[in-house]
């Protein structure tokens, strides 16, 4: 098994169910996950191979089984689940996050917003941020890549420094970059070896400290 370890990141190339079985109940303070939505957005039909020129992969044909959500709730005290509108088995959720993608996505065939269900008992919140205007997708390596700023906002609103965070489908590694700078302790996994290697390279590059003399 390949892995990447730092003082606050534990990232592994493995199946998420195997990873979660390693931990006792409520081990993680917060799970922030972006599992497959089962809508066929694996790569080729979004018109973008990614900055690492990765070929189309068939990981988005089905949603996770019910056992995944049961295990996720077992190992984490709270959850933020992207794409929860595609997962009828996890309803009802207590609250919601709406990511408004801004003007760059208006009038296109792509979704103008994405929805996450949360276990937090609070009012729904909206985060407005255009990743195209922010140039977050320059060198994009994953077809469903989310911007680091989205995770920055989540941690600022739903977490506290030093919390233990779980991500079961790391993808491009955006959550790891945000965790590093927010002072979170992240445990994450990515099953696909190509995405895992590319994400680790990105995380190393974007979290490396620069010393000025």
Percent of the chain with pLDDT over 70: 88
pLDDT digits (tens, 9 = 90+) for 133-151: 999 888 888 888 999 999 9
Closest residue by Cα to residue 202 from 1, 41, 11, 7 = 11
How many angstroms separate the CA atoms of 207 and 190, rounded?
19
Q: Model confidence at 213, in pLDDT bands (50, 70, 90)? A: very low
pLDDT digits (tens, 9 = 90+) for 49-85: 444 555 556 666 778 999 999 999 999 999 999 999 9
Q: What is the pTM of this model?
A: 0.90
All domains in the chain, ordered by first residue = 3-207 (3.40.50.150)
Averaged pLDDT, 176-198: 96
Q: Which residues contact 93 (CB under 8 A, 6 or more apart)?
A: 81, 84, 117, 118, 119
**H or E, element range at 82:** strand 76-82
How many angstroms separate the CA atoms of 131 and 208, rounded?
23
Averaged pLDDT, 172-190: 97
Q: With 80 as the cut, is the pLDDT of residue 194 above it?
A: yes
């Amino acid at each position: 098994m390949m892995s990447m370890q730092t003082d606050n990141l534990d990232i592994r190339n493995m199946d998420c169910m195997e990873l979660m079985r390693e931990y006792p109940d409520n081990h993680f303070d917060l799970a922030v996950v972006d599992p497959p939505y089962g809508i066929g957005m694996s790569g080729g039909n979004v018109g973008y191979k990614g900055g690492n020129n990765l070929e189309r992969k068939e990981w988005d044909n089905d949603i996770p089984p019910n056992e995944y959500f049961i295990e996720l709730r077992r190992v984490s005290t709270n959850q933020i689940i992207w794409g929860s509108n595609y997962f009828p088995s996890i309803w009802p959720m207590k609250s919601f996050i709406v990511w408004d993608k801004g003007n760059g996505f208006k009038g296109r065939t792509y979704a103008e917003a994405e929805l996450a269900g949360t276990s937090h008992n609070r009012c729904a919140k909206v985060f407005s941020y255009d990743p195209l205007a922010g140039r977050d997708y320059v060198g994009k390596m994953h077809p469903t890549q989310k911007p680091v700023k989205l995770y920055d906002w989540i941690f600022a609103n739903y977490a506290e420094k030093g919390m233990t965070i779980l991500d079961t489908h790391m993808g491009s590694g955006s959550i790891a970059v945000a965790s590093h700078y927010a002072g979170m302790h992240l445990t994450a996994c990515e099953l696909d070896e190509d995405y895992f290697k590319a994400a680790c390279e990105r995380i190393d590059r974007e979290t490396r400290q620069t010393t000025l003399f």
